[in-house]
Structure 1
């Protein structure tokens, strides 16, 4: 049984990971820590477990085997490295860190201490992604030239029920978040497109920061890949009918995904709905637990985490300077520029 501590209720996905942990027969939630002690104490009371105010004391406890991290994004590097140096396995909300160099430091600590780190990139286990990836790998679409992914919701849209939108106000803090819609929600578009496109060469981004906000609430980036494919990444907190769209266009055909519905059209044929999709793979948390138990190699890997941050970092620079950013090669083995 994996004895786990929950670290922070800051990110909106805390409830998802808590529920996944509660539902997993191999996980036992034993402790709570939160940078907001009042919030953490109430959370621990709801769960019927102890609250620990001192993170170092919690991490030094040998009865705690692993941690689930949903802290502010700017705390990830410090918290994850401290956890790794204490011999704890780590499951973390995306993004891993706000710079490639920070990712490299995290992985150095993780690998030196021989602990398992999993970043939650859940769309990489979904049937629509698995089908599309298989089609690309088998050359069914021919030479892939364009990938467009849109992930958007209405978190900032003001309603009578939510006058400021349903996202917590701290999601607009540029220091805590390291950005706005693109760095967080846009991460899904980034890691999906990276899987299809391969190594990125350049990034150009436009972030919209409305009056009264300090971060982007909707954004678009284009990524040029060494393969010749172009990625179009769209995201936002301002989409009243927000939905997930993924398009893959190649010389022999096209795949379009709308939410979980998949259509495909090959050259010379008509559109067809694809109903025979692969089974969903194990969720990231399930993969994490199995990797700790041994004998299981997760499908979500270090390269996914590092290249996600590389695009995010370049997009932020592009948006702030108005320029086209050339990416240095990033080693998936070290997280460092090559």
Structure 2
């Protein structure tokens, strides 16, 4: 049995994570910490767990092997470093932190303590995106020229997100910092090293953080990614388009179409679900299984840091209204 503490209910996914852990049958939620004491006490009572207003006291508990972090993004570094120093394994909601410097501090603490770390990248477990990765790796698309991903909902438009979601001091940003993480880490996974970025952020509902956003990224392999996210679009169909010199992959909802110059490719035209790669377990499930069975961790420190690098630089480009270059390996 794995004993887990829930670190804050701030993020909207926190309750779902707790329910998922309880459904596994191999996890016991023993404790809760929350920066909002009233919210934390209530949640702990619902979970049948102990509540601590002092994070250090919670991390001293012998019946806490690992923590699931849903604290405000601005507090991720503080909380994760404390957890690592206490010898607790870490699962965190995205993003890993607000800056690469904070990610480096987290990574150093995790590596020194020898604990295991996983960040929630659910889009990388889905059959459609696994197919895209397979096609890229197999060269059936040729050299990638353009990636376009759209991910949105109407949470800010119809006010079903908590109001603190728009507090820049807690969240670190708006639509791109949260929902935009998924297009960002998919682009990094598929296209590799980013070279330069521009951002266009909009404040449709007049809140302190952006609710409608787009980033254009050029990668070192000359591919361009157009990444769009929004909290003010009604019934937004997710879109994923991947274009190469020798093939094209279009994903719209559950519909998948592939065209390739490679006539011998078994995948041509509309692709049925049975032709897709098998869906992988959710990141939280993989993390639990890895801890219980001493297995590898998916979506680790390097993945989380790469996402934060994209996000941090995207916000610099927005604030300074310019194209920002990434530091390439070798200092170029």
Q: Give the TM-score normalised by structure 2.
A: 0.94
State whether structure 2 residue 174 is matched by structure 1 residue 176. Answer: no
How far 1:315 moved relative to its partner?
Answer: 0.5
How far 1:294 moved relative to its partner?
Answer: 4.4
State whether structure 2 residue 225 is matched by structure 1 residue 224. Answer: no
User: CA-to-partner distance for each residue in 1:80-114, whole Å, 9 max, x for gaps?
Assistant: 10010000111110000000010000010001001
Tell me which of 222, 229, 236 is aligned to 2:230: 236
Give SS of 2:271's match: strand
Give the total of aligned pairs.
Answer: 327
Between the aligned partners of 1:72 and 1:278, the Cα distance in structure 2 is: 34
User: Could you list the runs of 5+ residues in structure 1 that have no partner in the other structure?
Assistant: 159-164, 332-336
Mean Cα displacement is larger for which, 91-100 or 303-312? Answer: 303-312
User: CA-to-partner distance for each residue in 1:220-267, whole Å, 9 max, x for gaps?
Assistant: 001110111111110010110223211100111111112333221224
Indicate conservation of the 8 Å contact 2:140/2:262, yes or no: no
Query: Aligned ranges for residues 265-280 of structure 1 at < 5 Å?
Result: 265-267=259-261, 271-275=269-273, 276-280=275-279
Between the aligned partners of 1:220 and 1:180, the Cα distance in structure 2 is: 12
Indicate conservation of the 8 Å contact 1:254/1:264, yes or no: yes
Give SS of 2:196's match: strand
Partner of 2:302: 303
Partner of 1:254: 248
Give SS of 2:307's match: helix
Between the aligned partners of 2:298 and 2:92, the Cα distance in structure 1 is: 16
Indicate conservation of the 8 Å contact 2:77/2:106, yes or no: yes
How far 1:291 moved relative to its partner?
Answer: 2.4
How far 1:303 moved relative to its partner?
Answer: 2.3
**CA, structure 1 residues 104+307, in 2 after alignment: closer, same or farther (shift >3 Å)?**
same
Indicate conservation of the 8 Å contact 1:181/1:237, yes or no: yes
Query: Aligned ranges for residues 71-110 of structure 1 at < 5 Å?
Result: 71-110=71-110
Between the aligned partners of 1:64 and 1:43, the Cα distance in structure 2 is: 17
Tell me which of 179, 185, 191 is aligned to 1:191: 185
Give SS of 1:181's match: coil
Indicate conservation of the 8 Å contact 2:118/2:298, yes or no: no
Q: Give the TM-score normalised by structure 1.
A: 0.93
Give SS of 1:109's match: helix
Between the aligned partners of 2:72 and 2:89, the Cα distance in structure 1 is: 19
Partner of 1:290: 289
Indicate conservation of the 8 Å contact 1:217/1:236, yes or no: yes
Superposition RMSD in Å: 1.7
